[in-house]
Amino acid sequence: MNKIKKVVIPVAGKGTRFLPITKTISKTLLPIIDIPVIQYLLEEASNAGIKDALIIIGYNQNDVINYFNTESTYVKNLTKDYEEIKYIKKLKQQIRVSYVFQEEAKGLGDAIKHAKAFADDDDFAVILGDDFVFSNGLKTYGIGSLCKYYAKKPNYYLGVKEVLLSETSKYGIVKPEKEITNNFKINDIIEKPQDNPPSNMACVGRYILKNSIFHYLDEIKPGYGGELQLTDAIALALQKEDVYATCFDGVRYDVGSKIGYVEATISVARQREDLKEELSKFLEKLN
C-alpha cells in the first residue's frame, strides 16, 4: 500500500484581512474558541496517518514555533499539569514538526519550493492554512480523504469543493475530463478565471503532490498577481501525468475570511460538550 508520510503547511502570509490583531500574532494562531487553526491542521494530518510536518513561516512568525514549545518558562511555571498542554505534547509525539522560513511571500508555488529538502524523494501532502476542515465527528476527513485514493493509486490529487459560479474567480478551478464524481480526472486547471470558468469545482487547500512538482515549479514564470502559482505548475504536470480532483469529507470553512472564521467557530462550539448547551441557549435568544 502506498502511503503519504509527509505534509507541508504554508502559513507565511501576513494576514492583512485580520488587521490589526495580525500585527502581533500570526493568523494561523488565531483561535477557534481556544485552539489555534494550526493545531487543527496538524490534527487533521495526524489523523490521516502522516508522521512528519513542515510548517513554512515568515521571519516574523517565531510565535508559531513558540506555541508548540511545551518546555517554555510559562509551561514550567504552571502550578499543575494541564490537559491542554499534555495534548500538545501527545500531538508532537504523533507527528514530528519542523519549520522553514520563507524569505518573502512570492506565492504558493514559491512556498512549496522551500519544501524540496524536506520532501527529499517522496510524494507529499499540502494543507493550506486558510482552509479549515471541520471533522464533524468523522475520523478521516480533509487530507485523509485524498490519502485514501493515493494509497490505491499514486497520482496528483487536488481537494475540491463545489462553489457558486459567481465565486469561481476567487479559486483555482478544475476542468473535468468527463463527468464529475467524488474522484475525477481533470485535463486543465485555471487560477482565478475572470470569465468562462471550466466548472464550479474549486481547489480548496488540500493537495497530494508527486515529487515531480519541483521540476515543474522550476519551469514556471510568475503568473497571477506576479507570484509563482502552484496552479501553473500543476497545469504543466497535466501535460505528462494524471491529475485527479477529489471531493473530501468534512466541512470546509475559509478562515482567511472573517465570516468564514465566525462560521467555523460556531460549528466547533456546537460540537463541544462544554459549550453546546450554553451556545444553544444563546442562539435561541438571538432568534
- Amino acid at the residue 88: I
Annotate 127-155 with b (16+ C-beta within 10 A) or e (fewer): bbbbbbbbbeeeebbbbbbbbbbbeeeeb
> Phi/psi of residue 201, each to 5°?
-100, 115
Tell me if residue 198 falls in helix, strand or coil: coil
> How high is the pLDDT of residue 284?
84
Residue 13: CB atoms within 10 A of its CB come to: 22
pLDDT at 62 (0 to 100): 93
Report the C-alpha gap between 207 and 246 in whole angstroms.
9
Residue 113 is which amino acid? K
pLDDT score, position 226: 74
CATH code given to domain 6-286: 3.90.550.10
Q: What is the pLDDT of residue 276?
A: 82
281 neighbors 166 (Cβ within 8 angstroms): no
At residue 14, the pLDDT reads: 86
The pTM of the whole model exceeds 0.85: yes
Residue 243 in grid coordinates: 491529475
Q: What is the mean pLDDT of each run of 10 residues along the chain (287 residues)?
A: 93 91 94 96 97 94 94 90 94 96 88 96 96 91 96 96 91 91 93 89 96 96 80 93 95 94 94 87 82
In the prediction, which pLDDT does 5 show?
97
List the chain domain ranges.
6-286
Do 149 and 246 form a contact (C-beta atoms < 8 A)? yes
